[in-house]
Structure 1
Amino acid sequence: MCCEEREGKKVYLGSITWNDKKLKRPIRVVYQVIERTIEAGGQLLLVPEIDVQVFFTTLTCSPWQVIQLYRDHATSEQFHSELKTDLNLERLPSGKFATNDLVLCAGLVAYNLLQIIGQISLQEPDAPVKTKVNRRRVKTVIENLMWLATRMVEHARQTKLRFGIHSPWFPVFHRIYTVLSS
């Protein structure tokens, strides 16, 4: 199947089945070939630029769906990377499976809560950020909202947290606290 997405860019998409005597069952090969003769900015190319992507799969859906699923796989890997590096769960602490299971479950709860806090922080434009984003990394949520500088003050038999008056993240923290406590 060939489709011209724009002038100077043709996308060839298809699949073939690969049989081999050593394989128990045939493997499907999905390919996408992009031929560019004109760049996106309009610059003509002397030699066509050819980009080839090949996927070996057992999926039976259409070639376009296979390519989309593999692209979404990279997003899944990004979330997995966040869980490991940002929450420091790269190496589990024990040699016992039950202990590691408990640590991983606690890490997943913390990860999901931090994701929720990050999404709530994006609902209003009061966050002091340079660029507009659709999602905050867990590491960014921890650095901006969990590590917020405070002082614990005891006065009149009450213990309170005091935030700095010049903290740029306090309005966001206060809004998130209000949303989650109601």
Structure 2
Amino acid sequence: ATYTYNKKFGFAAIFAHLACGWMVNAGLYPGNTSFHGPETIAFVNQSLGLADRMTGETKLLVMDCGLEDQEMLANLHDRPNTDFILKHNRRRESSTKWLELAKEKGVLIREDAKKGFRVYRGSTYRRLKDREEEIRLAFDVKETYKEKGQLLFLPKVEIFSVWTSLRDFSDKEVLHLYRMRGTSEQFHAEFKTEMDMERLPSGKFKVNKAFLRMGMLAHNMLKVISQDMVMERALGLKKATRRRIKTVMNNVIFMSWRLISHARTLVMQLGCSKEWHIWFGRLFQRLKPA
């Protein structure tokens, strides 16, 4: 373990989720690892390869700006059967030039004279280094020219932009698809906090890496149970499109039961209501062959 970006002694982890939170891949690296390099590209390609084995459909890869660089963009651009949305890191790009670009190539989608701001939305194309291809860069640019009723000498400029290979989607749809990525942060929270995977058990890197992989398998097993819980309406739970890992563990994994030996047969007695007993019996019979 080494010191991480927030000056803590530990490791750096990276995860890949598919659809409703299925964990496709997990990687563990020393704490001072930079995710701009061949290791990250190898991890992304490995994760996409695993996803290809799960479904033959075209996949949309959505990633944070911490993974953005020229090599990553070129790698994703050349990969078949995969579209991508990658958050753009402005680094030292001028806010003034971005505002000029937004006014030139974007459209005004919102203006509030009372609050003193305008929002422009549009797309531009940029060429990768040493390559002929141009990649679409969709953006929202907010210009604030008034605060608390006072005009500003220089406007404040807020920029939200993403790289994408999607060409048949509008700027609004592309930006909305990236903003939906916030749900993946909940998947990270479930894995780290609710499964208590935030603190790894050993000081040895290989042991922790193996422990992380076992945690990934356990996470996906709990997701199987959570999908069954979503489909079942008689359990008395609030209507939802997914169940958190904590809910699954509290209602199923921590369910009280007793194992009884009777007539040369092992019988499991559950301490739950009739509805939960029926649901658990169906789940047990379905998963038993596996």
Question: Normalising by structure 2, what TM-score?
Answer: 0.44
Question: Normalising by structure 1, what TM-score?
Answer: 0.67
Once the two structures are superposed, the pairs formed by residues 79-94 of structure 1 within 5 Å of their partners are: 79-94=187-202
TM-aligned CA distance change 1:164 to 1:76, over 3 Å: closer
Which residue in 1 is equivalent to 2:231?
123
TM-aligned CA distance change 1:126 to 1:11, over 3 Å: farther
TM-aligned CA distance change 1:150 to 1:166, over 3 Å: same
Which residue in 2 is equivalent to 1:146?
253
Aligned equivalents of 1:70, 1:32: Cα separation in 2: 16
- What is the DSSP-based 3-state SS (H/G/I as helix, E as strand, rest coil) of the residue aligned with 1:136? coil
Aligned AA for 1:115? K
Q: Percent same amino acid among aligned pairs?
A: 37
For the pair 1:156 / 2:263, whether they are aligned, the reply is yes
Which residue in 2 is equivalent to 1:108?
216
TM-aligned CA distance change 1:113 to 1:3, over 3 Å: same
- 8 Å contact kept, 1:153–1:162: yes
- What is the DSSP-based 3-state SS (H/G/I as helix, E as strand, rest coil) of the residue aligned with 2:231? coil
- 8 Å contact kept, 1:29–1:54: no
Aligned residues: 149
Q: Runs of at least 4 residues of structure 1 off by over 6 A?
A: none
TM-aligned CA distance change 1:2 to 1:174, over 3 Å: farther
Which residue in 1 is equivalent to 2:160?
55
Which residue in 1 is equivalent to 2:186?
78
Which residue in 2 is equivalent to 1:25?
none
The more displaced of 134-143 and 65-74 is 65-74
Aligned equivalents of 2:288, 2:273: Cα separation in 1: 24
Q: Which stretches in structure 2 are left out of the alignment for 5+ residues?
A: 1-106, 111-117, 126-136, 143-148, 150-156
Once the two structures are superposed, the pairs formed by residues 28-67 of structure 1 within 5 Å of their partners are: 30-31=139-140, 54-55=159-160, 59=163, 63-64=171-172, 67=175
Aligned equivalents of 2:161, 2:272: Cα separation in 1: 57
Question: Cα distance, 1:69 vs. partner?
Answer: 4.3
Question: Cα distance, 1:152 vs. partner?
Answer: 1.9
Let me know the Cα RMSD of the aligned residues: 3.2
